[in-house]
Amino acid sequence: MTAAVLIAAPASGQGKTTLACALARRHARAGARVRAFKCGPDFLDPQWLALASGAPVHGLDLWINGEADCAQRLVHAAAEVDLVVIEGVMGLHDGEPSAADLALRFGVPVLAVVDASAMAGTLAAVAHGLQTWRPGLPWAGVMANRVAGARHAQMLQQAVGERMPWCGALMRDDGFTLPSRHLGLAGAAELPDALDRLDRAADALAATPLGSRPLADWPQWQPPTAEPAAALPLLLAGRRISVARDAAFAFIYAANLDTLRNMGADLRFFSPLAGDALPDCDAVWLPGGYPELHAVRLAERTDLREQLAAHLAAGRPVWAECGGMMALADTLVDGNGSAHALWGLLPGTAVLGKRLAALGPHAWAPQGPQAAPGQTLRGHSFHWSRFDTPLVPWQRTRPARGTAAGDGEPIYRYGALKASWFHPWFASAPALAAQLFLPD
């Protein structure tokens, strides 16, 4: 049997990632087999969870993945590990579907972490509301975060009393704070002391009731039943796909790489920031990331620009996703208003804004010759930038709900190049994902 917990909170910024990573690190360091998941679409939190657990981290979203895919991933993990840690998204009951929906569907106990830095007795009221808002929600308890000291922790514990399990308090400590920027946390690979931060968080957790409890004493979780995943058609057999991967192009789902490999692709990674040449390949994937933070270095890569231009001139496909699209623009205007001449392979100017430009789940069901009956590629959009271009969109995504701005995200086609703000989850429609890397 396997222990499992879903780390949730009343809102974003409460400390979900810190607690989830501390829990995964504390038990992985002790020799337990741990798998972590992230609820909802996210590229940055999974980097920290992977570092903490020592294993790849996949997303779980009942709409983007679909219920069957989520169940398969959980069943596969439960068969191999001692502890499953799922980090929630936003507040426990936020979103459609929410983290609470996931916990209810798969019977995963919820552990609430609450930033208690400016409260005392109200902690109990907040935790009680989180627990009881949805009848039948499996519950593991509450943990206070950013606590001022022992006396503050005692007040919080007394307020909770016997209402629910008290899992302890994490003190305010810059030593294990995970730094943030626009789009979310800083990438784990960017900080030389990333693992030290997680070790300090794990040490702090070990002194709490939650952290000191052996996994053998945890309630055992009954994973869902799921049909085995069907074998994917080898639509990319023999295809060499070069994937940019570094701090400028870091937004890559591990599950997307698995999907490409399971369709037969030979993946070849390269780092534009490190000066790598474009590997010999049949297709290129430029994922999202932070090109705006590395615009000077990317602008210097005129050699890579020429290699990509030759690749496209030969009719070989390129899929450029969000930040990857920005790197291909004529010009990139960074957060300071400085303009950088980028690779100039997609007409237009990418401009980093001062606030969120788009956020939400999207689906793409291609029209025309690209259509695949019954196939819809699901994913999400999350960006601060805009793209000013004379190009007319070739296709558009469709917002999953009516809350997303406009008519969905544009998908541009320029010769053998396709580009969009849209971040697809390849496993939702593998045949459509394969088309991004096949010649038209």
**DSSP code, position 382:** E
Whole-prediction pTM value? 0.92
Report the residue count for the chain.
440
Closest by Cα among 48, 37, 15, 16 to 85: 37
- Domain 240-435: give its CATH architecture: 3-Layer(aba) Sandwich (3.40)
What is the block-wise mean pLDDT of the chain (440 residues), using blocks of 10 residues? 95 94 97 96 91 96 95 95 97 94 98 96 96 96 96 96 95 75 58 86 96 93 87 95 96 96 98 98 96 94 98 98 94 87 94 72 80 80 83 91 66 96 94 94
pLDDT at 200: 94
Closest by Cα among 16, 162, 179, 1 to 86: 16
Q: Which helix (H) or strand (E) holds 392?
A: none
What CA–CA distance (Å, rounded) separates 107 from 209? 23
pLDDT at 250: 93
What CA–CA distance (Å, rounded) separates 336 from 182? 13
pLDDT at 372: 65
Backbone angles phi, psi at 206, to 5 degrees: -60, -20
- Intervals of CATH 3.40.50.300 along the chain: 3-217
pLDDT at 334: 85
pLDDT at 277: 98
Contacts of 375 (CB under 8 A, 6+ apart): 365, 429, 431, 432
Catalytic annotation, residues: 322
Take residue 2 and report the two structure tokens written for it.
Answer: 């396997």
CATH of region 3-217: 3.40.50.300
pLDDT at 181: 46
Backbone angles phi, psi at 230, to 5 degrees: -70, 145
pLDDT at 358: 65
pLDDT at 69: 95
- Intervals of CATH 3.40.50.880 along the chain: 240-435
